[in-house]
Amino acid sequence: MAKRKRKLTAAEKAGKKRRQKEYMTIFINGKQKRVKRLPTIDGMDVDEFIRRNADPIWLHPNEMWEYMTDDEEP
């Protein structure tokens, strides 16, 4: 007869949840590897968040000219 799985304690559950939020599992050469997740703001990638919300006055001193768009196009 197979051995029964035991339930996780509250501390083990909390640790598992924290690790899942902090890391993600990817496959490299057929093996699972755990890597840190990319930083996000409101569930969006940081670059995407900047593209959507930054104004030209903030982009210019931070040298992000590639994100500036010309709103006066005909």
Mean pLDDT, all residues of the chain = 86
Lowest-confidence segment of 6-15, 16-25, 49-58, 63-72 by average pLDDT: 63-72
Prediction pTM value: 0.52
Give domain status of residue 6, yes or no: no
Would you say residue 20 has pLDDT above 60? yes
Structural domain including 56 reads 12-67
CA-CA distance, 30 to 51, in Å (whole number)? 35
**Residue 2 domain-assigned?**
no
Q: Are strands 31-36 and 40-41 parallel, antiparallel or unpaired?
A: unpaired
User: Within a domain: residue 37?
Assistant: yes
Q: What is the mean pLDDT of residues 38-63?
A: 83
User: Is residue 73 included in any domain, yes or no?
Assistant: no
In a domain? residue 22: yes
First to last CA, the chain: 76
Residue 5 lies in a domain: no
57, 68 contact by CB (below 8 A): no
